[in-house]
Amino acid sequence: MAETGEADPEEVVKKLAYSFPIVRHTDMPEEMKEEAIALCISAFEKCSNNNENTAKMVKDSMDKMFGTAWHVVIGESFGFGVTHEAKNLLYMFYGGSLAICIWKCC
């Protein structure tokens, strides 16, 4: 049972590696949210290994689209506490192990 138990999470992890984005928390309006998610996914796929470039890409695009002073954090293990402008926060997971947090604040 234990072996199968160990095998299953590995399989699941493998499955999750190529899996979908999950929004953990957001208070963005629908359109903004969809655009942001699409943007994140495309950025992730472009710069797959480099979190800094991904974050930079996302931040620049968000600044252009929605106004200045966006902040983007990408990582696998971090804690954060942010003050953000209302209705301008997106916190989501991607690729089974990555977490990305985007917020706007001047």
* Selected binder of another protein within 24, 29, 34, 38 (CB under 8 A): 24
Q: Does 43 bind another protein (CB under 8 A)?
A: no
In whole angstroms, the minimum distance from the beta carbon of 16 to another protein comes to 5
CA distance 47 to 51: 7
Q: Does 81 bind another protein (CB under 8 A)?
A: yes
Q: Identify the DSSP state of 51.
A: H
Residue 71: partners with Cβ closer than 8 Å, 6 or more residues away = 59, 82, 102, 103, 104, 105
Q: Does 56 bind another protein (CB under 8 A)?
A: no
Q: Does 65 bind another protein (CB under 8 A)?
A: no
Q: Does 85 bind another protein (CB under 8 A)?
A: yes
What dihedral do alpha carbons 36, 41, 46, 48 form, nearest 10°?
A: 120
Element (H, E) at 101: strand 98-104
Q: Does 68 bind another protein (CB under 8 A)?
A: no
Sites of contact with another protein (CB under 8 A): 9, 12-13, 16, 19, 22, 24-25, 27, 75-86, 89, 91, 93, 96-99, 101, 103, 105-106
